[in-house]
Amino acid sequence: MSVNIDWDQLGFAYMELPYRWRAYWKDGEWYKEGLEEGKKFLISEGSTSLHYGQEAFEGLKAYRTKTGQIQLFRVDQNAQRLVNSAKRLLMPEYPVEKFIEAVKKTVQANADYVPPYGSGASLYIRPLLIGVGDNIGVSPAPEYIFTVFCMPVGPYYRNGLAPMPFVTSKYDRAAPFGTGASKVGGNYGGSLLPGQHAHAEGYGDVVYLDPATHTKVEEIGSANFYGIEKETNKFITPKSPSILPSITKYSLLYLAKERLGLEVEEGDVYVDELDRFAEAGAMGTAAVISPISRIDHGDKTFYFYSETEVGPITQCLYNELVGIQYGDIEAPEGWIFPVE
């Protein structure tokens, strides 16, 4: 089957595809697992996902290589992160191997929608775990639904790999020792207002500081932060119990050290010391890497490599990661999962 899509004009938007994976949990076990058609399903008005935020999700992509092969990037890490999120919210875990198989089956069923190699587009995949069933007390749900759906997407930012300005926020993304390290909806719902304010003022997004002291950089919008230190070229990214453990971040930490020969560090990044960095950026599944041109913090402004050009180390890291994802560069062992 051929699909009528202008791959070069894809944005980052929802699109209904023919198939999605669904699995249902009740009485201590998963059942009725398989592909379904139709984007809608009925849930009880008493579902905990609607009232108490008992839901978690993931985001990953499938890529088509030059030979036409479809492949997934580190899907096992997404599977484990969803397990960790489920534990935090007292939800049943969807096993790692089942997760991987569910993603593969969903991609296979919608293979015609995986964008062609060279288009710069990919198939975005959204696994979702929600609490459902009849419940009104603040307690775990009696039933759960796990689903995996997908859609072709273009670059998260229309301008591609282009530097953007960011601004620190007075709002907190997550509480100390809260759910910041879990990929749950509440972390994102609270980000809508500060994000809207930043966009209205011409910024790419906000810089969230640590919720305890407001002195350290934690996340950039819904992505992780990194900086390339002046003189040493050390790749530095924040470490905190309230930061989401980004798969893109840990991939770049590895590539910076093993492929580019850089010293790497996870540690405190104080907002008043941002001028120590020659380059900076945000990193995540959706955006891959978004270079930062400057960060405005109160009456201070910290400038990085350029307002118009991408820094050389950022460009190298981007090329290496994207090259691996699209099959042009050999991947470290265990990173790539072919979709048969």
C-alpha triplet 335, 338, 340: angle, nearest 5°: 165
> Which of 61, 183, 216, 249 is flagged as catalytic?
183
DSSP SS3 for 111: helix
What is the DSSP secondary structure assignment for residue 158, as one 8-state letter?
T
104 catalytically annotated: no
55 vs 183: CA distance, rounded Å: 9
104 vs 19: CA distance, rounded Å: 12
Which tokens go with 181?
Answer: 């390290």
Exposure pattern of 44-68 as b/e (b: 16+ CB <10 Å)?
eeebbbbebbbbbbbebbbbbeeee
The contacts of residue 117 (CB under 8 Å, 6+ apart) are: 64, 65, 66, 68, 326
- Say if CB 279 and CB 231 are below 8 A apart: no
- Say if CB 168 and CB 43 are below 8 A apart: no
Q: Any idea which residues carry the catalytic annotation? A: 183
